[in-house]
Structure 1
Amino acid sequence: MKKILIAGGTGFVGGYLVSHLTKLGYEVHVLTRQSVAEPEENGTKFFKWDLDKSYIDLKAFEGVDTIINLTGENISAGRWTTKRRLELIESRMLSLNLLYEYVKHHAIAINKIISSSAVGYYGARTTDTIFSEDANSGSDFLADICKLWEKAARQFESLGIKTVILRKGIVLGKEGGMYAKLAPLARLGINVSVGDGKQYLPWIDIRDLGRLYEFILHQEDLRGVYNAVAPQHITMNDFAYSLLKSFDKTSFLPNVPAFMLKLLYGEMSTMLLQGSRVIDEKIKSMGFKFYYDTIDHSLERHGT
């Protein structure tokens, strides 16, 4: 099996993907900013890197065929202050820039890079439009981040490296992300919908996301931008209803008012209160099949 280098492999998605690929027989190298006390764990090898010092342990690249980039500060972790905006942008661009410089300078024979982006590329807006990969980008901060993120990833094309960019929806999984934050409330019968609840919520089950990375690794000539979203279009109200149902609960509580979110989170609230439909036909046309294709199927295992 090929060796894979994962940057950002210690978070929610990264942790799942490392486990998934290791079970498939891949040898996984993970870049970490923490001190490497245990350089190897369950077949996964950890290597130090430091963006501030522009440093990567060169041993991380030994035998590696593919790089998977998952880096980026959590976009919804707090208000978008001027400092926070810079952190969100730099955490995405600097990591890709450093990887690119190392691969170029040391002539590392990488065949493919799979990099992250988000459906925020299309902007935080609720419209009747259904966005495919060739749609124009939005004009807000989320869209600006994604455009810079993707531009940094496309540097690898100049080295002849096959470049795949995944515009991900909300990743749903039991161990983290949106589900981990909202499930405890739903388990108590609390309505988790916000605003008018009519905003669309592009999403993907983390198990399908793992399968999608597996699929891309097996497709030798696959490259370009792909929406990583489940086929079913749902609204925030739909999600809240299904989440409650997964715990055999119902709620008569109202949605959290939009003005409260705006007071708490400022401009960041737009990503919670707005959302568009995003289509997955391009990746399906390549032969990928979603298994968790409805929100009820995704959430059904979480019931008590």
Structure 2
Amino acid sequence: MAQTVLITGGTGTIGRRLTELLLQDGYQVSYLSRTLKPIANVTVYQWDVPKGQLNPQAIQTADHIIHLAGAGIADERWTDARKNEILKSRTQSTELLAQALVKNTHSVKSFIASSAIGYYGGDTADRPLTETSPAGNDFLAQVTRAWERSEDLVAALGIRTVKLRTGVVLTMAGGALPKLAQPVRLGAGAPIGSGQQYISWIHLDDLCRLYIEAIKNESWQGVYNAVAPTPVTNETLTRAIAKTLGRPMLLPNIPGFVIKLMFGELAVTVLGGNYVLNKRIAEETNFRYSFGDLDRALEEELQE
């Protein structure tokens, strides 16, 4: 009998592609969602995180849980209210899952949880970071530390827990790549700020395959940096996009102060950088990237 994977945040960019790959792999998929809107080939259960409500059938029928839910980091300016929403959407949803696992009879074997390389801080320059590097102190780091602490509540129940600290996900289905590619297409592409800030990236399909591998392989446990093998600078990424699209790079760098004026505190997400290494994946697993090379990843997404 096919195993069932319960996904939170399943209608997001990562969740949609992950669902496709899980179904192709023979898994059954169910969602926890705020609304009971029908989705093809997926059983949808309702939850209301602020009210602490969750349909217990979602937990009772699951063999594995993939927890992706959380308000988008870069979707809006960081007002105090938005910052609170970013934090609470992650911690409260995880706490609700942990409570449901305590209250209900279930056969959940693994809990594969989203995290972020923001754990190390929004800007750590070119210092190499591995899974054992210390946490940062800024807003992103504080959110991610609290997020991972809430995930520890599930691990404390004896359920195998994997945390994937995710880098910049490359896909034209959402996130950073469409925003980076659009000005390049229009002939207005330019590095941002110094252009020397590092971007630790991963192709969407490789990220989804990491989630599936974490379900299948019972030796996976704890934190893994979900990034491709080679971080690149903002300038290298921008030039690679231009090369893939066959567009020139004529403009000077966009000054950092302009980005700060436009985005406020959120500017750290593009002006800051992290040189994050996939040490545990490289050294402890047999995982093979389909798109470990930046040019190949961009060709997959940008060539029409």
TM tier, smaller:
over 0.9
| Matched-pair contact (CA < 8 Å) for 1:194–1:256 | yes
Q: Which residue of 2 aligns with 1:252?
A: 250
CA distance in 1, matches of 2:274, 2:51: 39
Q: 1:245 to 1:156 in 2, by over 3 A?
A: same
3-state secondary structure, aligned to 2:195: coil
What is the number of residues matched between the two proteins?
301
CA distance in 2, matches of 1:61, 1:149: 20
1:187-233 alpha-carbon deviations (Å, 9 max, x no partner): 22221421011000011000111111121111023111000000012
5 Å-filtered alignment, 1:175-194, equals 175-194=173-192
Q: Which residue of 1 aligns with 2:91?
A: 93
| Matched-pair contact (CA < 8 Å) for 1:22–1:44 | no
CA distance in 2, matches of 1:49, 1:149: 19
CA distance in 2, matches of 1:50, 1:4: 20
Range that drifts further, 1-10 or 99-108? 99-108
Q: Which residue of 1 aligns with 2:303?
A: 303
TM-score of the superposition, structure 1-length normalised?
Answer: 0.95
CA distance in 2, matches of 1:128, 1:222: 28
Q: Does 1:28 align with 2:13?
A: no
3-state secondary structure, aligned to 2:156: helix
RMSD: 1.3
CA distance in 2, matches of 1:180, 1:104: 41
Unaligned runs of 5+ in 2: none
Q: Which residue of 1 aligns with 2:71?
A: 73
Amino acid of the residue matched to residue 287 of structure 1?
Answer: N
3-state secondary structure, aligned to 1:64: coil
Q: Which residue of 1 aligns with 2:109?
A: 111
| Matched-pair contact (CA < 8 Å) for 1:191–1:254 | no
CA distance in 2, matches of 1:22, 1:182: 31
The structural deviation recorded for 1:73 is: 0.7
| Matched-pair contact (CA < 8 Å) for 2:117–2:276 | yes
Amino acid of the residue matched to residue 76 of structure 1?
Answer: A
1:143-164 alpha-carbon deviations (Å, 9 max, x no partner): 0011000000011111100010
3-state secondary structure, aligned to 1:48: strand
Moved >3 Å (runs of 4+)? none
The sequence identity of aligned pairs, in percent, is 36
CA distance in 1, matches of 2:121, 2:254: 22
CA distance in 2, matches of 1:256, 1:100: 45
Q: 1:76 to 1:192 in 2, by over 3 A?
A: farther
Amino acid of the residue matched to residue 132 of structure 2?
Answer: D
Q: Which residue of 2 aligns with 1:145?
A: 143
3-state secondary structure, aligned to 2:165: strand
Unaligned runs of 5+ in 1: none
Q: Which residue of 2 aligns with 1:3?
A: 4
| Matched-pair contact (CA < 8 Å) for 2:162–2:222 | yes
Range that drifts further, 168-177 or 123-132? 123-132
CA distance in 2, matches of 1:122, 1:236: 18
CA distance in 2, matches of 1:63, 1:4: 9
| Matched-pair contact (CA < 8 Å) for 1:117–1:165 | yes
3-state secondary structure, aligned to 1:175: coil
1:106-154 alpha-carbon deviations (Å, 9 max, x no partner): 2433111010111111112243310000010111111001100000001
3-state secondary structure, aligned to 1:17: helix
